[in-house]
Structure 1
Amino acid sequence: MIEYHSPREIEQMRPAGSFVASVLTALEAAADVGVNLLELDALAHEMIRSAGAESCYIDYHPSFGAFPFGKVLCTSVNDAVLHGLPHDYRLRDGDLVSFDFAASLEGWVSDSALSVVVGTPDPRDLALIDVTQRALAAAIEVFRPGNRMGDISATIGAVAREAGLSVNLEFGGHGVGRTMHGDPHVANDGRPGRGLVLKPGLVLAIEPWFLQSTDKLRMDSDGWTLRSADGSRGAHSEHTIALTEDGPLVLTAR
């Protein structure tokens, strides 16, 4: 069921969005060559405790997960792009790492993601990250009253294709509110002018993610981490955005 939120409820969502943004900012600053993924998960966990927030991931067990996630942060490195399970791995020079983080604060959820390169960057990785960021920015721009869901999806897909990338439709954005994943689904490609009419009160997590040379995924042996089928690298950008009468309000802006 699609939920619509009052202006008062959207105001109540702001602290959760600011908190999620602050955790991602801290993770981006902490990520460096030699830092362990488990240390980064511990940083996010400590920030959750300090804020009196709740993790959306630690007990998360959807049908595609082998078991409850057990961590508070997704860390997807290099050819991993989604649902990366933190493990005993120290970041190496040139690693591309995507952080995806969602938490509940005062009963409201926000969800956001970013990708960074640690150490010496490969220009191809920076270009891939840039495509996800531009796709997200373009999608937010068309998230306006009277437009349709297909306009968001088509906008994301157009940015990807212009960059020579293909788009996977298995995983995408979603509604956000009291829970992390709600209706509607937000595909990363589609047809303009189709689908749900966008109305004030709708809150979405929009999340373009792309792989360098494929749109096919494979499941890692850890039962959670999704990797590119051909070993190429992936990047991911995401914000939680509320639609108001005046247009989109990015709750997780950093």
Structure 2
Amino acid sequence: MIIYKTDEEIELMQISALLVSSALTEVAKVLKTGMTTMQIDRLIGEFIADHKAIPSFLNYNGFPFNSCISVNDVVVHGFPNDIPLTDGDLVSVDVGVFKNGFHGDHAYTFLLGEITPEVLKLVRVTKESLYEGIKYATVGKRIGDISNAIQVHAEKEGYGVVRELVGHGLGSAMHEDPQLPNYGRKGSGMLLKENLVLAIEPMINMGTRDIYTDEDGWTIRTDDGLPSVHFEHDVCIKKGQALVLSDYTPIEAAEKANANLNTSYY
């Protein structure tokens, strides 16, 4: 069932989305080699609690952490752990919060230290593909227009677009209809109407698009062991131009101010 929001509900959803942006900004301020993803997860959990919200992911279908933190060849749903991060790691941090009856849910990929030009390009193109998709998140377009824009931008560089994992509707439930693949045909799928909220989230692999799930039942990795990148925004369908409820601006400012992070792909 498709659930369209009122303008008042969109305002509440933006509060949740911006709280996620703020949590990711806190990560951008402190992330460095030697830290563990478990430390990051604790920071996120404490930040969400301090802002009188609930981590959307914690205990969701049994998921045991506040956030999904996916390193290098992990596509999504990575378990935080006590392994120190090292120079050259890609760290994708996916956070959800529940506040005022609505979820925010988005993700950002950070780069630690020296990164090869090939990986820098993958990060840049994945981020670009998110914004290419958002251009089509407007009244009168179709789901397939968003999907196709993401796919074309990534595949023209030879990257693998993950098929099995999708973006989704967002609201009082973390996963609502419709599903939003990162591949598809222009003009296909559901007609987009005003005040539908979507989590648009390209998951792009350097090599094959094929993936597998670890024995923990959650962690999803690339089949060939090459890196994967994940960016995600919360987006409200509007006439003429989409309303992006989340905000990368403070994340990017903190990222650029942190000498431990590589932003040379900008």
User: Match of 1:86?
Assistant: 80
* Residue 168 of structure 1 pairs with residue 173 of structure 2: no
For residues 55-204 of structure 1, the aligned pairs below 5 Å read: 55-61=55-61, 68-204=62-198
CA distance in 1, matches of 2:91, 2:109: 6
User: Match of 1:15?
Assistant: 15
**1:27 Cα shift?**
1.2
User: Match of 1:3?
Assistant: 3
The worse-fitting range, judged by mean Cα deviation, of 138-147 and 6-15 is 6-15
CA distance in 1, matches of 2:215, 2:113: 27
CA displacement 1:110-131 (0-9 Å, x = unmatched) = 1111111112122222111111
TM-score by length of 2: 0.91
CA displacement 1:55-101 (0-9 Å, x = unmatched) = 1111111xxxxxx1110111100111110010111100111110111
**1:246 Cα shift?**
4.8
* Residue 233 of structure 1 pairs with residue 237 of structure 2: no
SS in 2 for 1:247: coil
Equivalent residue letter for 2:220? L
For residues 36-47 of structure 1, the aligned pairs below 5 Å read: 36-47=36-47
The worse-fitting range, judged by mean Cα deviation, of 118-127 and 45-54 is 118-127
**1:17 Cα shift?**
1.1
CA distance in 2, matches of 1:146, 1:10: 19
**1:28 Cα shift?**
2.1
Q: Count how many residue pairs are aligned between Structure 1 and Structure 2.
A: 248
CA displacement 1:10-39 (0-9 Å, x = unmatched) = 112121111000111111222210001110
SS in 2 for 1:115: strand
Equivalent residue letter for 2:120? L
Equivalent residue letter for 1:33? T
SS in 2 for 1:46: helix
User: Match of 1:65?
Assistant: none
**1:106 Cα shift?**
1.1
Identical residues among aligned pairs (%): 39
Preserved CA contact (<8 Å) 1:173 1:204: yes
**1:162 Cα shift?**
1.2
**1:215 Cα shift?**
0.6
TM-score by length of 1: 0.95
Equivalent residue letter for 1:53? A
SS in 1 for 2:242: strand
Equivalent residue letter for 1:51? H
Equivalent residue letter for 1:22? S
Q: Which ranges in structure 2 are unaligned for 5 or more consecutive residues? A: 249-266
Root-mean-square deviation (Å): 1.0
SS in 2 for 1:137: helix
CA distance in 2, matches of 1:54, 1:10: 19
Preserved CA contact (<8 Å) 2:137 2:236: no
**1:245 Cα shift?**
3.5
Preserved CA contact (<8 Å) 1:117 1:125: no
CA distance in 1, matches of 2:238, 2:187: 20
SS in 1 for 2:10: helix
1:219 to 196, 213, 223: 213
